[in-house]
Structure 1
Amino acid sequence: MGLTDALFAGTSGLRSLGHGMSVVGDNVANLNTSAFKGARITFSDVMAQRINTSSGSGQMGRGASINALYPMMQQGSFESTASPTDLAIAGNGFFILKEPGSSGNTFYTRDGQFLVEKQGYLVNPAGFRVQGWQIDEVTGDITGALQDIQIQRSSPPVQTSKVDVITNLDTREELETMEIPLEGNVYVASGDPSQTITTNFVIRDINGQDIPIKVILTWNGTTQKWDNYSIIYETTGEVLASGSDTTATKATIELPITKEKVLINWSNVTHENGLTEGLSVPGRAGLIKLDDNGTPIPENTWKSIDITVKDASGNDIPLRIYLYFQNGTPPNITDFPAEIQDSLPELANGRWHFLVFQSPTPGATRPSEETDSILLSWGSNISDVKRKASFFLDGTTQKINFNWDAVNYSSTGTGDLDTIKSDSGEDFFRLQQVNTIYDSWNARNETPLPNTEYTYRTTLTIYDSLGTPHEVTIYYDRTTKDNVYEFLVACDPKEDQRDFIDDTIPMQWTTTEGSVTVKEQIPSGNTLADTKRGVLMYGRLEFDNQGNVKQFYETYRVDPDTGDIVQIINENGSPISDAEDGFNILGKHGYPLVLADFLGLNLDQDPPQTDEELAAARKDIQNIELNFGYYYKDGAWRSESVRTTQYATSNSTIFYDQDGYGPGYLESISVDTEGVLTGHYSNGRVIPLWMVGLANFNAPEMLDKAGGNLYRETTHSGPPVTGKPGTNGLGSIAPNSLEQSNVDLGEQFVKMITIQRGFQADARTITVTDAMLEELINLKR
């Protein structure tokens, strides 16, 4: 009947308003819960009951029920914190969390109270791991799929791959000078014909090339003048300097290839009667030129020649050179000294074999008989086109070049080897050398390069692949050419571990020419390898009249395998096409490459190793780009905004930097608005590590609350759409912040009052209905 219906209608109201008070209570209880989203409850009436009235059918309500209950997803205000891993989302989206050890338990939250746990994972207070993308340190782009964010506690070392050294080199520094003093005597009595004296010698330029020079002086005793003088480049016949009817005793020449200026001085030439007539130049032996004295030598036969040369101290050093031209009959392996027999390649026709011995064994006619001699240099399968080699006098760095271009051969030849003599009658040509800072470097001295040998130096620290620091010094000095500075890049000789330092025979080459293997060794090169330990690169910088670098040119580096100096940029300033050491000339930025090894890599078969090991060792050689503010691109050197200069101000280092690091440990973390987590390490590295991932839903109000400020995906919410912060409608990240609850306490109090009053009224309807029922029951009495 109607009174009973009234009871149930009132009960439904009590039930609905009770749930409403629960919602308000929950909202108020979570007033200080981070990122809490207050719930909203709405009510609806229950389907009405139809009754008959005098005016027809009518509907009577049957109480109230809950219409909807869902969270209000409006953003809360931000609270600043001291923790960099406290994150808030300014805008739409949720952080993505995964339960460790599970495959599908993915949760979503607005609560960014995160911390780094013991294993480096970024987690929420419940230990669920924050999801994000790893960042490529080089490109700065995200890589891979979303995964657990794990912060690296340490920073691995990074070997130096580029060095920036920007200096100013004082243009007021005096030019270097090279003077070649000639000595001799020429006497002509008054009225007698003029008399000519000559000498020839070689000047070894920075390229290591021997430039043959001939000096011709004609003296007139009547005028007491030089009728003429000529200084000639013998290779081409070009006159480098000349004069006539002059008292001049000096002339400056420019070397034909490197353009170095050299002063020829014959002021010490005397004019005294009775003294030996002639002209000479001081210096040690530098070049030996062999010929056959007009009769070809026989093929397939060992031929030798004994020569005595002068060392730098003026001592006579006896040598013996063997030559063998193979044309059908190779020499016996036993003809070679026993110590090199295992190193010989397959001997090929149309090729030369040579050996050079110091202090030759008397009576020996074959190389194998040189039992008491010192092997200085040898080669097998030398091309008939090349016909040149070099060696060092034993225990010295005194390099002597020799060639046999003028030696002819035939199957019926009967000739012997001979030397092309200098004008002084010696079997060799004396050497004059342009001294460079490379020549002056001696690693066996406590100070490898005295400060008198350079005008400026600058030092910086680089790192190898293990993170070990090493000091590298760049030395600068003026040259004999205006607007040109030479530079030397060197490390501490004690830290240099390149292969040639440990090899028994450092200077050895094995190359292939088609199917022929060519092999050369200079056992006498050990001393040079010892003295040049630590030298990484030598070169020259040419400046224009505005003080800017015009070009690199005549630039060399030391082969890490052989210790020999290898040209990488020629006299015209162009990188050569193929360096003899087999490594790249320029780095990826267009700067010249320095090769260093602080680890002791084995680059050859000393001791023997596999091809794979050889390739791995060469790959591990440290390639360092040297940036002076100029790079090579499209066939020319191009300048950067900050570059090395030659101005009329003091020598100074304007800027230097390098991109290597030692090992480091995590000191702090920072996060930017794009959600990028950056690690700050004790070695100075600042590394972008991760980007926090965000997700959004088409109906975020339909997410399932999982407790702990977490939500789960539901069918009604739709699948998550993930992306970077600040993209595709997703909010940006506010670091050092937490989102507060979006509950409005005043609003909740108002709702609380209205719900309470409603509840009171509903309760009153039940009590009144109860009284009415009681009256009804009393009717029976």
Structure 2
Amino acid sequence: MGLSASMWTSVSGLLAHGNKMNVVGNNIANVSTIGFKSQRMDFNDYLYINGGSTSGPVQIGAGVATYAVLGDFSQGALESTNSVTDVAIDGEGFFKVRKPNTDQMYYTRAGDFYFNADRQLQNPEGYRLQGWKVENSTRLTFKSESINLGKDKTNESAFVGTGTPQDIVLDSWYLEPQRTTNVTFTMGLTSDGNGDRSTSDTSPMTALFDQWDATKNPPMADTSYATSSPIKVYDEGGNAHTLTVYYDQVAAKQVDANGNTIYEIEGLPAGYTVYEYCVTIPPEEDMRSYGGEGYDPVSNTWGKKPTQFYNDPEKGTNKNAGLLMTGHLIFDAAGNLVNQTAYSYGANDDPTALNQCNLPPEELSSWQSTKFSSNGLPTFCANFTGQPLANSVSEKLSDTQSQAQDYIIELDLGLRCLGNWTSSGTLLDLQGTLEPAKTVQVTVSPVTKPVYETEYQPDGAGGWQDAAGDPATPAFPLYIEDPNKRGSYIKGTDSLGNILKDSTGTAYTGPFFAQGTDKFVPNNLLGQAVKYTDAAGAEQTLTYDATTGQITDAAYKAANPKPRLFVETQVQERKINYNNDVAKYDDPMKTENASSAGASSYITQDAQANGYPSGVLSGTNIDNAGVVYGYYDNGETIPLYQIALYDFHNKQGLRREGGNLYGQTKESGEARQGVAGDNGFGVTRAYNIEGSNVDLSREFVNMITTQRGFQANSKGITTVDTMLETVIGMKR
């Protein structure tokens, strides 16, 4: 190996260190470049020349070469800004951008984006940021038999957007109204038995339902229910309506004052609590109708005109106008919601296509176990705009198309059904059956102290006044000293539930009845064998005037001024079979927001309803999952897009394109696609940009060592040159 070869060895060192100085200089030059990832140059020994020695073959090095230029893809510092569209990736991943007017895609860590005149999210060079569009329209479908929601809790997907990534464009400056399709309540109810306000001997499980009367104002009296939960919902035009759910407890067993069973729910496990609920809207906002036939969608006409629920020209307002669904919540002894019923108008009816349900809305048999949504929740029709075939969940435009499905709302009280109903029932089934009649004794309270009309009189305004005309509160019952009405009730009900009227059948304004100074027998018992128990405990038959009701039995009068009077009458007990008469979920699944019956007082713990009116975009925001939200002047915050993130198994294989861009190559492999905060990707930080990851102190050290290496190699060249001059001088 000659001296000239030694010179070329040093030359390779000069070239290599010169290249490294380029890398170091490029890093230092980009110390303020956003999203810049620094590089480092590695050397390797370049070439060896074989030779010989006394000890055998040897190799003599002939220089150095650039071994690799590797990128440093570590995290750069995040710098805060005042722009929401400045977005940094805190962790792994790249943004994907599209070159304008082409399909060429690039990747970048620089998140200095902004909306251009066309509302496209781009970087300063016009490259469009890519993301998934979020589908905000909601449409419920009825549950099919093949759908199974599963019994385990499902993890929510990190993906909010759907479809193929595309340019992020804010084309939703105007937000179209969204109809309400879901109403969710988490109710805290009590189980102490004090919540049974509406009762019924004949239909105890529909007592609250029976209280609703659209012809009255209000249609549901305040004394009829234990609690209620109102919420605002929207129709397809964005108009707001108030939907109210009323709740009232249903006693498992009811007895009268004499201990006789009026009804009993058989088969209900011990300690269980049952609540009846009714889903309602103001009757005047209920545009449902029934009985229409032969609807023509083209001309919007009927072969047979429908009957309106509310204010029909011929039949007036139906009692159940505004009543959308009713049912029961069943809680176990611990207050956990374990089952539910839900009945809506004509749910199991099967009208032919283009015909309406024609069941009488006021009859219990017309309210049937409703259909489930694909989410396993009970549904009802809320027809606010008079849609022709959206009055019952059973109505349809054709054998394969349901208009009602476009107008249903699902009710979520915390229980989903994975199967179907245990039976296809109606509210009429809940009346149960009557047991054979049996004879019982009914107690009658006798009069003990008459008060005369000269002492108290009605004031004409529903109250009372004394003889001087001053307001007064007398002790009831009151009596009138009127021989013509002696022995006659005036108003109210007696212990048997009979309506109390005078002898002419006229109901009077005050809760009083006519009587003289003697004790009496009520007129509704005249002619019956009235009995009492004397002081010795023996049963005696009372004697009285069958015309006036005045007691003529001297022994009775002398024995006790307050004896127990009773009559024997026939009563029937009503039996409701919980397992057979009540149509429940056959496979219920409790959710995290389930209502409960263990509260000390009534409370609506949570109430939610989707849907909103129209609005205009007033601002944007981007969350840590890369979701771009729009703020609208109607108060809604709507997700519009989700930024797509990408990563590579071999980042060193990416090609640096300049302009803070990287290009995919064969060496980098295909990009892995995902969203922020999921599957190893970093989170997005709005109001931030990622700075360069260049470490100046390290680069200065590299610059000094590179300079020294370059100087040393240059010294090698000058030394070899001196040696060559010596050789040439020897020749001279």
Alpha-carbon distance between aligned partners in 2 of 1:261 and 1:55, rounded to the nearest angstrom: 110
Report 1:102-501 matches (<5 A).
102-103=102-103, 105-117=104-116, 119-134=118-133, 140=157, 141=159, 143-150=162-169, 153=172, 156-165=176-185, 166=187, 168=189, 171-172=193-194, 255=202, 258=203, 436-438=210-212, 440-442=213-215, 457-475=228-246, 482=254, 488-498=278-288, 500=289
Report the equivalent of 1:73: 72
Letter in 2 for 1:162: N
Structure 1 residue 708, shift from structure 2 partner: 1.5
Matching residue of 1:720 = 670
Partner of 2:345: 557
Contact 1:568 1:585 in 2 (8 A): no
CA distance in 2, matches of 1:478, 1:2: 108
- Measured in 2, the distance between the counterparts of 1:9 and 1:174 equals 101
In the alignment, what sits opposite 1:213?
A: none
Give the 3 Å change call, closer, same or farther, for CA 701–662 of structure 1 in structure 2: same
Deviation at 1:688, TM superposition (A): 8.0
What displacement does 1:714 show?
3.4
Deviation at 1:507, TM superposition (A): 4.4
Distance in 2 (alpha carbons) for counterparts of 1:614 and 1:661? 30
- 2:27 maps to 27
Q: Is the 8 A contact 2:630 2:640 kept in 1?
A: no
Structure 1 position 718, deviation (Å): 4.2
Q: CA deviation at 1:43?
A: 4.8
Compute the displacement of 1:59 (Å): 8.9
Q: Taking structure 1 as reference, are residues 564 and 458 closer, same or farther at Cα in structure 2, changes over 3 Å only?
A: farther
Q: Deviations over 1:636-666 (max 9, x none)?
A: 2569576667889766545433233334547
Aligned counterparts of 1:773 and 1:542: Cα–Cα separation in 2: 105
Indicate the residue corresponding to 1:397 in structure 2: none
Aligned-partner Cα distance in 1 for 2:336–2:172: 45
Q: CA offsets per residue over residues 342-373 of structure 1, 9 Å max, x none?
A: xxxxxxxxxxxxxxxxxxxxxxxxxxxxxxxx
Aligned residue number for residue 625 of structure 1: 410
By how many angstroms is 1:149 displaced?
4.2
Q: CA deviation at 1:75?
A: 1.2
AA partner of residue 411 (structure 2): L
SS in 2 for 1:757: helix
Judging changes above 3 Å, is the alpha-carbon distance between structure 1 residues 534 and 116 closer, same or farther for their aligned structure 2 residues? Answer: farther
How far residue 102 of structure 1 moved from its aligned partner, in angstroms, is 0.9
The answer to whether structure 1 residue 696 and structure 2 residue 648 are counterparts is yes
Select the structure that is richer in strand. Answer: 1
Deviation at 1:740, TM superposition (A): 4.3
SS in 2 for 1:67: strand
Checking the alignment, whether the CA contact within 8 Å between 1:670 and 1:677 is kept in structure 2 is yes
Identity of aligned residues (%): 26
Secondary structure of the corresponding residue to residue 236 of structure 2: coil
1:214-239 CA distance string (max 9 Å, x none)? xxxxxxxxxxxxxxxxxxxxxxxxxx
SS where residue 472 of structure 1 aligns? strand
Structure 1 residue 475 displacement after superposition: 4.7
Change (3 A) 1:568 1:537: farther
**How many angstroms apart in 2 are the aligned matches of 1:726 and 1:86?**
12
Query: How far apart, CA to CA, are the structure 1 residues paired with 2:386 and 2:110?
Result: 53
- Residue 12 (structure 2) pairs with residue 17 (structure 1): no
Question: Could you tell me which residue of structure 1 aligns to residue 466 of structure 2?
Answer: none
Q: Match of 2:313, SS?
A: helix
In structure 2, the CA distance between the partners of 1:487 and 1:95, relative to structure 1 (3 Å rule), is: closer
1 CA distance for matches of 2:664 and 2:339? 65
2:107 touches 2:663 (CA, 8 Å); kept in 1?
yes
Equivalent of residue 537 in structure 1, options 324, 333, 353: 324
State yes or no: 1:735 paired with 2:509.
Answer: no
Distance, in Å, in 2 between the alignment partners of 1:59 and 1:647 is: 89
Tell me the number of residue pairs that the alignment of Structure 1 and Structure 2 aligns: 496
Per mean C-alpha deviation after superposition, the further-off stretch among 73-82 and 593-602 is 73-82
For each residue in 1:555-600, what CA deviation from the matched residue of structure 2 results, as whole angstroms up to 9, or x when unmatched? 55389957964489869xxx847xxxxxx53444555433112233
The answer as to whether partners of 1:677 and 1:692 remain within 8 angstroms in 2 is: no
The answer for the alignment partner of 1:412 in structure 2 is: none
Secondary structure, counterpart of 1:526 in structure 2:
coil
Q: Aligned partners of 1:51, 1:589: CA distance in 2, in Å?
A: 82
Q: Sort the Cα spacing of 1:569 and 1:4 in 2 relative to 1 into closer, same or farther, 3 A.
A: farther
3-state SS in 1 of match to 2:31: coil
Hey, what does 2:506 align to over in structure 1?
Answer: none
**1:87 paired residue number:** 88
Match 1:601 to one of 384, 387, 396: 387
Deviates more, 1:687-696 or 1:132-141: 132-141
Cα shift at 1:696: 0.6
**Contact persistence 1:490–1:535 (CA under 8 A):** yes
Pick aligned residue for 1:710 from 652, 661, 671: 661
The 3 A distance-change label for structure 1 pair 687 and 171 is farther
1:357 aligned partner: none
**What amino acid is the match of 1:723?**
Q
8 A contact 2:324–2:382 mirrored in 1 = no
Q: 1:106 to 1:586 in 2, by over 3 A?
A: closer
8 Å contact from structure 2 (residues 377, 412) kept in 1? yes
Q: Check the 8 A contact 2:648/2:668 in 1, yes or no.
A: no
Distance 1:552 1:597 in 2: 24
Query: Tell me, which stretches of 5 or more residues in structure 1 are unaligned?
Result: 179-253, 263-433, 501-505, 512-517, 578-583, 605-609
| In structure 2, distance between residues paired with 1:758 and 1:488 | 87
The answer to whether the 8 A contact 1:37-1:71 is kept is no
CA contact under 8 A between 1:694 and 1:724: conserved in structure 2? yes
TM-superposed CA distance for 1:735, in Å, is 2.9
Aligned equivalent of 1:343: none
Equivalent residue in structure 1 for 2:700, among 742, 749, 755: 749
**TM-score when normalising by structure 1:** 0.50
What per-residue deviation string (whole Å, max 9, x for no partner) do you get for residues 371-427 of structure 1? Answer: xxxxxxxxxxxxxxxxxxxxxxxxxxxxxxxxxxxxxxxxxxxxxxxxxxxxxxxxx
Contact 2:325 2:380 in 1 (8 A): no
Q: 1:462 to 1:753 in 2, by over 3 A?
A: same
Task: Please give the alpha-carbon distance, in whole angstroms, between the structure 1 residues aligned to 2:714 and 2:165.
Answer: 55
Structure 1 match to 2:579: none
Aligned to 2:487: none
Give the Cα–Cα distance (whole angstroms) in 1 for the partners of residues 388 and 209 of structure 2: 32
Cα gap change, 1:551/1:569 in structure 2, threshold over 3 Å: closer, same or farther?
farther
Shift of 1:461: 0.5
